Amino acid sequence: MTSSVLVLNSGSSSVKYSVVEPDSGATVADGIVERIGDSADVPDHGAALDVVFAALAEDGHHLDALGLVAVGHRVVHGGPDLYRPTAVDDDLIARLKELAPLAPLHNPPAILGIEVARKALPDLPHIAVFDTAFFHDLPAAAATYAIDSEIAERWHIRRYGFHGTSHQYVSEQAAEFLGVPAASLRQIVLHLGNGASASAIVGGRPVETSMGLTPMEGLVMGTRSGDVDPGILTYLFREAGMSVEDIETMLNRRSGVRGLGGEIDFRVLHQRIAAGEAAAQLAYDVYIHRLRKYIGAYLAVLGGADVITFTAGVGENDALVRRDALSGLGAFGIEIDEHLNDSPGRAARRISPEGAPTTVLVVPTNEELAIARACAGVLGGGHGDR
Ligand code: ADP
């Protein structure tokens, strides 16, 4: 039987699951259980896991026949010390609970997901894979906020970066696609999904990324603001009578493209722009403007890019966003071939003209496979190398 890994990504109201074969890279089954806590059917994460098992069985995948060798858990925040894929034990759960204040929206549901999965599958190793891992060794100049250093140290405030599993996977795939070692490349990776982040990578190691202490910094996202003047927070707190929770909810859930244009899905946003909705146009313009600012900044950080890669829901599917993000950058060796850019595809593909100084790629991300491989690395006695 081929060995496989059950990968779980537990959010506050949903659990995404995949059964992945780390060796072949094949996804045997995947799906999502949504609206946890919303209905009597799925009151909590334990019930959600039962739904996962039932869905697998319905598709003919009985647990015993899947050849599961591990359960891999995506954990958003590893804090200052956790970054290698780590086998879960009671001590690790306790450490994750201590870290929860650093990622109040993301880590508590991941811990719940781990706890219920350990109960349901006690005989399998459970392995935590951290979204911050790839960026653990960011250069100090990129990782450090210019704030009172004693306070920063006391409260573990640094730029951690997120989506690391995706940035690492996609940058490795880009090198493989080009048939050159990652060690020889200066790369910019643009992970544009509902959450969005950019990274600058030299020789396979990240030197910059747009997210910080939390996944709120950086690019404009589906519902998150990305960069704002921190003065806005203190102003709202002091003058508008908003609580810390109100401000956090606004920045996380009612900002970004939805906050400006009333819509999170770019397919619908484009329709609204075509229908002449000024708010939708402004949302798009702010999104593109921020993205271009980051691309420009990373070109300066890197001294030019050999590869720029788009990934995740928007990056993989939205040709207009790709075109507008990189238009007018010919002077920097960056060009897009309109025909290649407009041709849809599922696989990794080049969208810059042949021979252009900077190769522009679209590479589908596969965080589940990367997590499954990290788990296999732990089981194999290595540390998974991430
Ligand atoms: P998440 O961050 O939740 O994992 P994804 O990477 O799946 O998100 O991206 C989801 C987003 O991708 C959607 O909200 C939508 O804006 C965008 N998207 C998906 N398909 C398309 C498409 N065909 N064209 C444009 N945008 C798309």
Each residue's pLDDT tens digit, 264-307: 999 999 999 999 999 999 999 999 999 999 999 999 999 999 99
Whether ligand 1 lies within 6 angstroms of the CB of 314 is answered as: yes
Contact 67/3 with Cβ under 8 angstroms? yes
Q: Are residues 203 and 59 in the same domain?
A: no
Residue 139 lies in a domain: no
Q: What is the pLDDT of residue 38?
A: 86
**pLDDT score of 370 more than 70:** yes
Which of the 8 DSSP states describes residue 237?
Answer: H
Q: What is the chain's length? A: 386
pLDDT per position as a tens digit, 239-257: 999 999 999 999 999 999 9
Rounded to the nearest angstrom, the gap between the alpha carbon of residue 254 and the centroid of all alpha carbons in its chain is 19
Residue 211 lies in a domain: yes
Q: Per the structure block, which two tokens stand in for 246?
A: 């109100």
Domain-terminating residue out of 130, 151, 167:
130
Give me the amino acid identity at 23: D
- Span from the CA of 67 to the centroid of ligand 1 (angstroms): 32
Residue 188 bridge partners (DSSP):
200, 308
pLDDT per position as a tens digit, 209-241: 999 999 999 999 999 999 999 999 999 999 999
Whether ligand 1 lies within 6 angstroms of the CB of 313 is answered as: yes
Q: Are residues 76 and 187 in the same domain?
A: no
Give me the amino acid identity at 362: V
Q: Are residues 104 and 211 in the same domain?
A: no
pLDDT per position as a tens digit, 48-72: 999 999 999 999 998 889 999 999 9
Residue 171 lies in a domain: no
Q: Please, which contacts does 117-124 make with residues 24 or more away whose CB atoms are closer than 8 Å?
A: 117/6, 117/8, 117/49, 117/71, 117/73, 118/88, 119/46, 120/46, 120/49, 120/50, 120/53, 121/6, 121/63, 121/68, 121/71, 124/6, 124/68, 124/69, 124/70, 124/71
Mean pLDDT to the nearest integer, 68-84: 96
Q: What is the pLDDT of residue 384?
A: 47
Domain-terminating residue out of 72, 102, 130:
130
Residue nearest to atom 7 of ligand 1 (CA): 313
Q: Are residues 125 and 193 in the same domain?
A: no
Residue 175 lies in a domain: no
Mean residue pLDDT of the chain comes to: 95
Q: Are residues 120 and 250 in the same domain?
A: no
Range of the domain at 113: 4-130
The catalytic residues are 131
| Nearest atom of ligand 1 to the alpha carbon of 266 | 16
DSSP per residue, 130-167: ETTGGGTT--HHHH--SS-HHHHHHTT-S---S-HHHH
CATH code for the domain in which residue 28 is found? 3.30.420.40
- Span from the CA of 318 to the centroid of ligand 1 (angstroms): 9
Q: What's phi and psi for 211, nearest 5 deg?
A: -90, 160
Residue 88 lies in a domain: yes
Number of domains in the chain: 2
Q: Are residues 226 and 312 in the same domain?
A: yes
Q: Are residues 231 and 119 in the same domain?
A: no
Q: Are residues 109 and 254 in the same domain?
A: no
Residue nearest to atom 12 of ligand 1 (CA): 313
Q: Are residues 123 and 202 in the same domain?
A: no
pLDDT per position as a tens digit, 305-322: 999 999 999 999 999 999
pLDDT per position as a tens digit, 134-174: 999 999 999 999 999 999 999 999 999 999 999 999 999 99
Residue 114 lies in a domain: yes
Q: Are residues 117 and 188 in the same domain?
A: no
Q: Are residues 224 and 85 in the same domain?
A: no
| Nearest atom of ligand 1 to the alpha carbon of 195 | 2
Contact 43/37 with Cβ under 8 angstroms? yes
Q: Can you say which residues are annotated as belonging to the binding site for ATP?
A: 16, 191-195, 265-267, 313-317
Residue 295 lies in a domain: yes
Best residue among 221, 317, 324, 346 to mutate for probing ligand 1's pocket (most ligand atoms within 8 Å of CB) is 317
In whole angstroms, give the CA distance from residue 252 to residue 76: 15
What is the layout of strands, in order, in the sheet containing 205-209?
Answer: 205-209, 196-202, 186-192, 307-311, 359-362, 349-350
Rounded to the nearest angstrom, the gap between the alpha carbon of residue 221 and the centroid of all alpha carbons in its chain is 12
**pLDDT score of 386 more than 70:** no
Q: Are residues 284 and 346 in the same domain?
A: yes
HEC string for 279-301: HHHHHHHHHHHHHHHHHHHHHHH
pLDDT above 70: percentage of residues in the chain: 98
**pLDDT score of 382 more than 70:** no
- Span from the CA of 158 to the centroid of ligand 1 (angstroms): 29
Give me the amino acid identity at 368: E
Whether ligand 1 lies within 6 angstroms of the CB of 267 is answered as: yes
Domain-terminating residue out of 101, 130, 159:
130
- Span from the CA of 324 to the centroid of ligand 1 (angstroms): 17
